[in-house]
Amino acid sequence: MNYLRAACRSCQTLEQVFDENVVPSKGVSPSSSSSLSVQMDWIMELLEGNLEAKSKIYKDPALSSVFMMNNGRYIVQKVKDSELGGLLGEDWIRKHNAKV
């Protein structure tokens, strides 16, 4: 998360880099969002998938749920407190707050 927050400080440069290489994301239409926000959304999806895979390590379902809630809350808080919130949007924050 800290690397993503740091990357957001170079938004203009990253926009230029990603303009030609947009990877479509499930929840974001490339025509309605900047290429950087599409990339960040895609990275967040990958991060969530990795966390879900790591949560399966816990044999106790309660521990797995606590792991996901703890990490989900951390991610939402970091997004809200940085430029990522503007890139991902209020809908993304609301959706992930509801998951937690």
What is the phi/psi pair of residue 95, to 5°?
-60, -45
| Alpha-carbon dihedral sign for residues 47, 6, 33, 31 | negative
Q: What is the pLDDT of residue 27?
A: 53
CA–CA gap between residue 40 and residue 25 (Å, rounded): 10
Query: Model's pTM, two decimal places?
Result: 0.76
User: Per-residue confidence at 71, pLDDT binned at 50, 70, 90?
Assistant: very high
CA–CA gap between residue 36 and residue 51 (Å, rounded): 22
Report pLDDT digits (tens) over 38-67.
888 999 999 999 999 999 999 999 999 999
Of 9-13, 20-24, 34-38, 56-60, the one with minimum mean pLDDT is 20-24
Greatest CA span in the chain, whole angstroms? 46
Number of CB atoms found within 10 A of residue 20's CB:
7
